[in-house]
Amino acid sequence: MSDFSKTAQQAPPVDANAQSFDVQKYVDYFHGLGAASQKSIDALTALGPAPVDGGDAVVSELNNSLTAIKQTFDSTATKLSNTNPDDPSAIRDVLGSVQTELQSKQLFNLSSVGNNAELNAAAGQAPACRSLQTQG
């Protein structure tokens, strides 16, 4: 997930009063978020079967959530590409819709994992899970 975090921190600033935007910066940013999301999906897939009951369900839910997030970022990049760069209001509308779209999705709540001691212990000991913590 570290690639995602790094990419997310590179967001172009949004000035609510701006009369013009460098739309390509935002398109590149959302494409980068989509690519980083895909890298996280690929890393989850590479983990293989879970060593404890319930682990595969957690991975599946995470995968579904990451896929939904990736689709939102990819869709936003496409919408921005198709938005008139001379219409700051339209650009702000697209940028503002990202949070609303993400909030409308049924994303996996990681706090539920914290209640499963066996999953927590396995995640802390499994080499694949530990390596996932240090990669994108």
pLDDT in tens, 45-94: 888 888 777 778 888 888 888 999 999 999 999 999 999 988 988 998 99
Encoded tokens for 60:
């599946």
Flag the least confident range among 13-17, 27-31, 93-97, 123-127: 123-127
What single letter denotes the amino acid at residue 103? Q
| Burial of 15 from C-beta contacts in 10 A (0-12 / 13-18 / 19+) | exposed
Distance CA 15, CA 60 (A): 38
User: C-alpha dihedral over 80, 82, 88, 92, to 10 degrees?
Assistant: -40
Q: Pick from 45, 32, 44, 46: which is nearest to 3 by CA?
A: 32
Encoded tokens for 25:
């910066």
Encoded tokens for 84:
């008139």
Q: What is the pTM of this model?
A: 0.78
Burial 99-108 (b: 16+ CB within 10 A, else e): eebeeeeeeb
**Percentage of the chain exceeding pLDDT 90:** 32
